[in-house]
Structure 1
Amino acid sequence: MSDAPHEAGTRWLEEEEQHAWRAILRAGHLVRVGMEEALGAHDVSFGEYELLSMLSEAPGRRMRMAALADLIVQSRSRVSHTASRLERRGWVRRAPAPQDGRGVVLLLTDEGRGVLEKLAPVHVESVRRGLLDHLSREELVAYGEVMSRVVRATRASSEQASDAV
């Protein structure tokens, strides 16, 4: 886009920024594809695995579906569809939220925990092969800190935009 006319206010990417951005996109895609392929060999999608994993780490292996959607950065509708698939397999169960009765809590069943325990080594190996084996510990920690900053800034921007409506 460097030869395109510069519109007022558009902060076009410089060549070095463009190169870095495209590398980030491609690497993220390749890591995600590797995780999907590894889990797909066990008939589980990455989205399903992530949902199970977050539930396993939650107090009591349960979490409000709205909070789960925010945590895994998916729409509530998508989380609901994923939960329905997992519920049919017997890996999760829905229940009314005990705090207010209006919300819905998703619970990880014992069967779901068992499946997760079998899938965790598959997932971890795909993460190591796709990303961790190519970075030093210092690079990984720095990258994690940078991405955490991006998440915080993006969420803050989204909240400010919601407050303005």
Structure 2
Amino acid sequence: MVKRLRVDPIAEAKRQWLAHGWDAAADGMTTVISLVRAQQLAFARIDAALRPLDLTFARFELLRMLAFTREGRIPLASAVARLQVHATSVTSTVERLARDGLVRREPHPTDGRAALLVLTDAGRARVDEATTALNAVFADLGFDDGDERELVRIIARFRRNAGDFADPAPQPPPL
């Protein structure tokens, strides 16, 4: 449970920014700090939902990604690219999941240097249970109607402008 503060520390930080003459940066600072705090609050709820299943969000993401594949397997390099985290982090996550019997590594059938990650039956059962727990969190975030879509739209625009992704090419390609 989050301890409710009597004063919004982000509003106070903005007041201080303005008092120090940093007006041009005050809204940006407030936006960044608000996003960081929102992430902390969201992760606290996610962690509480996953803790009984002995999963972190990173382990859940890897399991869910494997479960979404047709055969429950993916090359390790593809997992690194899709999760957008450092290879060392993915390797650490895979080691923990393998130790728990939720995934296994197999040699890649055509590339002797690569490994495949394979979802086990126990891993599929655990990720399905975790997804149910997280869907309860996702279904009631506390936003008003339409706020979630608007927030995602705004953040997507920020991400696109920051170079995180490109809009898809028009289909069919122009002549």
Q: TM-score range by the shorter chain?
A: 0.7 to 0.9
Give TM-score, length-normalised by structure 2. Answer: 0.72
Distance verdict in 2 for CA 1:60–1:147, change over 3 Å? farther
In 2, distance between residues paired with 1:13 and 1:56? 46
Q: How does 1:12-91 map to 2 (within 5 A)?
A: 14-91=25-102
Name which structure has the greater RCO, CA cutoff 8 Å, separation 6+. 1
Question: Aligned partners of 2:158, 2:85: CA distance in 1, in Å?
Answer: 17
* Cα drift, residue 76 of structure 1: 0.9
Q: 1:154 to 1:98 in 2, by over 3 A?
A: farther
Asked whether 1:141 is paired with 2:156, we answer: no
Question: CA separation in 1, counterparts of 2:108 and 2:50?
Answer: 30
SS of 2:53's equivalent in the other structure is: coil
For residues 148 and 115 of structure 1, what CA distance do their matches in structure 2 show? 30
Rg larger for: 2
Q: Which consecutive residues of structure 2, in runs of 5 or more, have no partner in the other structure? A: 1-16, 166-175
Q: Which of 118, 121, 128 does residue 132 from structure 2 map onto?
A: 121
Relative distance call for 1:75 and 1:148 in structure 2 (3 A) is same
Contact 1:31 1:127 in 2 (8 A): no
Provide closer, same or farther for how the CA distance between residues 16 and 150 of structure 1 changes in structure 2, counting only shifts above 3 A: closer
Structure 1 residue 98 displacement after superposition: 2.7
- Deviation of 1:85 after TM superposition, in Å, equals 1.1
CA 72–124 in structure 1, closer or farther in 2 if over 3 Å, else same: same
